[in-house]
């Protein structure tokens, strides 16, 4: 069993509830209330799986724990608002770790207008565990789901991919403002942030939208780091399968796609058209003289 | 440093925000939105600190992880609504643990109308870590805070105390309906659920309300379990200082207190008048012929 099997099982268990507009399986849940809907996401970072305390600082871990959640709100086109933080601290220096962790969280929270409004702090004999739950508000067009891509839609990404392990997975800036600006210039049919890797996350868009996709090998933007990392895996493979770039992948109509390419409306971001959604299932990598099916998999957390 | 020092430090760091009606330091945060305010609480259970996997079942742990959060909503007089669950699973049988944990959470969630609307599930080399974030709606009179007790108010509890370690700390039923019924019969000035122990949690009420308190030794209801446990500590000491009874302690005016005693409006619950709030600081235990100051401390998580 892996995390996706478990999510599928959870979705089977989850009864439809009138208050839950979107339940498990998207970047955020969407809740109905007496006011506008609320976005909620939760992400946990665990020592040894997501970071090693010996190789980084609690401040950087705190920063990442907050930023990955902010990125989930960005992926719905929303604005993050209030965060709740639960922490399991390793005994021995726990107070110091707690304060540095908080500083890292506050730093990125402050940049995005997020208020840390509550939490729970414990120490234990285990490793550092940080869980952030983040609320947000959808954009004026409502939350952007994974499920809205249509055959013929163009697939875009907001930046170069691959090799985030070298540092970007800690230091990335969630694409909140970019997602907001995109909505001013195009009707975004579906969106996701790239945490599991391009192939994996575009696979999620396809699965939820009931589409397949063709990826244009020569148009996928590859980061300089991925080029320098190229080893037994090519730089393109790094761009396709490495996780935690936290760029946005999104679907728009060809008309909107052409306009975005012509306008390039986002400062410091080069929007890249990297594929097209298909009516038939499957993920196909298309080169100048080739078309081969690839597995829509990135990093999968096995249980 | 212990958890309360850390909470105090966090409160110093937390800028006032117009959206945060109540921030860190109460049972729940209270957030303003476009509709009615939202209650939010988060609580994390950690293997070895809060439970031992070898001595209990994942189902019971899941049940408790959900119930402690529901109890925090009850302590504000609110109704729990949506839960988000982040889990760190020990590798080896993680899938099985995940499913049993979920069943336990669902069981108690279903009883209280709570929908598990999202989460994050990971495995790692560490122990089991379960973090639940729970949303809720306040009662019609608004959230009941820790800070509203006034000198002269009577202190009540909703049931017998002490010895929860024998089993009640897993199997307690959060007092959601009871808190709602109380509000129909009295103006509740302040309330808390007893997680750190009676003395510790009434100490929180006092600290937030700027009051002291006299506790009536003979009127504190002592559980049968606490009586059977009496060892080097008396059963009264167990009732005063054991944690995790998850009964409610609350403050009402003497007039409302007399009415509650006369009416006893809650089925299967004997409301007990156990003390009176004072203008001067301190916690005093009053017996037939004695009055001694005691430390307002229960279980404190040292870092």
Residue in the structure block whose two tokens are 């004997």: B270
Residue-level pLDDT at B298: 63
Supply the pTM of this predicted model: 0.94
End-to-end CA distance of chain A: 6
Confidence band, pLDDT 50/70/90 cuts, at residue B302: low
Helix (H, G, I), strand (E, B) or coil at B89: strand
Q: CB–CB of A31 and B5 under 8 A?
A: no
Q: CB–CB of A38 and B38 under 8 A?
A: yes
The strand pairing partners of B294, in sequence order, are: B283
Q: CB–CB of B122 and A301 under 8 A?
A: yes
pLDDT at A137 over 60: yes
Q: For residue range B85-139, what is the model confidence (pLDDT) as tens digits?
A: 999 999 988 999 999 999 999 999 999 999 999 999 999 999 999 999 999 999 9
Q: What CATH number matches the domain at B3-137, 3.40.50.300, 3.50.50.60, 3.30.1330.10, 3.20.20.80?
A: 3.30.1330.10
Confidence band, pLDDT 50/70/90 cuts, at residue B301: low
Chain A residue with Cα closest to B44: A86
pLDDT at B212 over 70: yes
Report the alpha-carbon distance of residue A148 to residue B139 in Å, rounded. Answer: 38
Confidence band, pLDDT 50/70/90 cuts, at residue A262: very high
Half-sphere exposure of A133 (CA within 13 A, CB side): 29
Q: For residue range A274-287, what is the model confidence (pLDDT) as tens digits?
A: 999 999 999 999 99
Sequence-distant (6+) residues with CB within 8 A of A176 are A70, A73, A74, A79, A80, A112
Q: Give the best residue of A7, A65, A112, A126 to mutate against chain B (max B CB count within 10 A).
A: A126
Half-sphere exposure of A73 (CA within 13 A, CB side): 32
Question: Number of helices and strands (H, E) in chain B?
Answer: 9, 13
Q: A223-227, A299-303, B202-206, B208-212: which has the minimum mean pLDDT?
A: A299-303
Instruction: Report which DSSP code applies to B283.
Output: E
Q: For residue range B13-24, what is the model confidence (pLDDT) as tens digits?
A: 776 788 999 988
CATH class of A154-294: alpha beta
- Name the residue among A40, A88, A125 with its Cβ closest to that of B44: A88
Q: A131-135, A190-194, B12-16, B115-119: which has the minimum mean pLDDT?
A: B12-16
Q: Give the best residue of A27, A43, A87, A133 to mutate against chain B (max B CB count within 10 A).
A: A133
The strand pairing partners of A123, in sequence order, are: A89
Q: ∠ CA A6-A189-A226 to the nearest 5 degrees?
A: 70
User: Distance from B261 to chain A by nearest Cα, in Å?
Assistant: 35
Identify whether the C-beta of residue B147 lies closer than 8 Å to the C-beta of residue B209: yes
Residue-level pLDDT at B15: 66
Q: ∠ CA A162-A164-A170 to the nearest 5 degrees?
A: 160
Chain A residue with Cα closest to B38: A33
Q: Which of residues 116-175 of B touch A (CB under 8 A)?
A: 116-127, 129, 131, 133, 135
Mean pLDDT of all residues in chain A? Answer: 94
Distance of CA B211 to the CA centre of its chain: 20
Count of pairs with CB atoms under 8 A, one residue in A, one in B: 231
Sequence ranges of the domains in chain A: 3-137, 154-294
Task: Report the share of chain B in percent with pLDDT over 70.
Answer: 98
Sequence-distant (6+) residues with CB within 8 A of B18 are B32
pLDDT at A2 over 90: no
Contact list, B7 vs chain A (CB under 8 Å): 121
**Closest C-alpha among B175, B165, B155, B292 to residue B238:** B165
Task: Report the share of chain A in percent with pLDDT over 70.
Answer: 98
């Amino acid at each position: 069993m892996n995390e996706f099997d478990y999510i599928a099982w959870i979705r089977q268990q989850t009864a439809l509830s009138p208050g839950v507009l979107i339940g498990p399986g998207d970047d955020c849940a969407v809740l109905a209330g007496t006011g506008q809907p609320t976005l909620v996401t939760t992400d946990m970072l665990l020592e040894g799986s997501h970071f090693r305390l010996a190789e980084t600082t609690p401040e950087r871990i705190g920063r990442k724990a907050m930023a990955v959640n902010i990125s989930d709100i960005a992926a719905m086109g929303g604005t993050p608002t209030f965060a709740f933080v639960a922490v399991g601290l390793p005994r021995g220096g726990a107070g110091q770790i707690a304060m540095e962790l908080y500083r890292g969280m506050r730093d990125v929270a402050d940049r995005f207008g997020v208020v840390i409004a509550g939490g729970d702090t414990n120490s234990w004999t285990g490793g550092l565990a940080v869980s952030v739950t983040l609320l947000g508000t959808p954009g004026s067009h409502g939350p952007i789901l994974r499920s809205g891509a249509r055959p013929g839609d163009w697939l875009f990404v907001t930046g170069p991919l691959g090799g985030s392990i070298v540092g970007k997975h800690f230091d990335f800036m969630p694409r909140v403002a970019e997602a907001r600006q995109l909505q001013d210039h195009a009707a975004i049919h579906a969106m996701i942030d790239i945490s599991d890797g391009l192939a994996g996350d575009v696979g999620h868009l396809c699965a939820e939208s009931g589409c397949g996709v063709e990826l244009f090998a020569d148009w996928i933007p590859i980061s300089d780091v991925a080029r320098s990392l190229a080893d037994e895996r090519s730089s393109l493979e790094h761009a396709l399968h490495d996780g935690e770039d936290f760029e946005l992948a999104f679907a728009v109509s060809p008309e909107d796609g052409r306009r975005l390419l012509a306008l390039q409306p986002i400062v410091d971001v080069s929007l890249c058209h990297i594929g097209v959604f298909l009516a038939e299932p499957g993920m196909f990598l298309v080169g100048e003289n080739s078309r081969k099916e690839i597995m829509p998999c990135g990093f999968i957390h096995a249980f």
